[in-house]
Amino acid sequence: MQHVRFGRTGLRVSRLCLGTMTFGHQCDEETSFAIMDTAAEAGIDFFDTADMYPLGGPPESFGRTEEIVGKWLKGRRDDYLVATKCFFPTGRRAWESGSSRHNIMRSIDLSLKRLGTDHVDLYQVHSWDTGTRIDETLLALEDVVKSGKARYVGCSNFLAYQLARSLGRAEALRVTGFECVQPRYNMLFRENEREMFPLCAEDGIAVIPYNPLAGGFLTGKHRPEAPIDGGRFTLGAGTAERYRDRYWHDRMFATVDALRPIAAEAGVSLATLAVQWVLANPVVTAPIVGASRPEQLADVIAATRASIDPDVKARVDELTHEYRFGDAAR
């Protein structure tokens, strides 16, 4: 597995990052361990999780994913880079969410306890907090880094102006700034190419995009009549509704059907093509790939063994150009 530089830092990470939000709900502990074993055998040594995972589970399951990851890491923590996140509600109390100093300090300690480690390599705020000044967030994250509880900090789901604002304030405050951003990015959602990616390229910010397979939609296995049970499009807690709103549209099904012959001519699966296409963007550091079964990782790992042919990429770019403009394709 190739390793690449993590933005402007000196850290090097595997070309793929393992996403874990299926662990503890879609996957039991045994299956989760098997997925991590498969990833590790392929050379993936960068794992991403969050304090509110597993996705789609009941509130009482929050934190279960970190516990599973921590249990697997026991005795081999030094061999892996671990990232986690805070922001979304993890309890009933009003202060158990957001990017306030209180929640950041509370959340990092709880995450470390569940993960069974004294530090994470990357600590991220999961979304922009409209109710907290970015200065408060940055100063709290600076203390997290200075205390040794995190090596680097990053953000997820930010808009370009929010990241630009954060980078500017970090420079003014002379504190540790965000070294990475975790945006949604795939063939069916290319809006971040317009503003976010040029900003990251200019400032040397690492990009670790999630949803490279559009929640499984780009495997080509779903049909309009009914989603496959057990995936993102049938999960509870509002997850199915969110994913259907993102991808369950006639135009997107038509796009997937148009991508099938391109993948076939290239001699790869649709899933492999989708990940190869994401990896071909020079701004992308390490796409976050997840699975609910170990064998699902085969296609995404295959994407790292050969680059997408330039002519194939050009055909995909042209076919999916409309998705650079958010909801325009719906």
Query: What's the CA gap between 330 and 109, in Å, rounded?
Result: 42
Q: Which long-range contacts (CB under 8 A, 24 or more apart) does 107-111 make?
A: 107/51, 108/144, 108/149, 108/150, 109/149, 110/51, 110/63, 111/51, 111/66, 111/84, 111/86
Annotated active-site residue in 53, 152, 210, 243: 53
Sequence spans of domains, the chain: 3-216+280-306
Q: What is the pTM of this model?
A: 0.94
The whole-number mean pLDDT for each consecutive block of 10 residues of the chain, a chain of 330 residues, reads: 97 99 94 98 98 87 96 98 94 88 98 98 98 98 99 98 98 97 97 97 98 93 76 72 81 96 97 98 98 94 96 98 74
At a CB cut-off of 8 Å and minimum separation 6, what does 198 contact?
none
- Is residue 161 part of the annotated active site? The answer reads no
Q: Under CATH, what is the fold of the domain 3-216+280-306?
A: TIM Barrel (3.20.20)
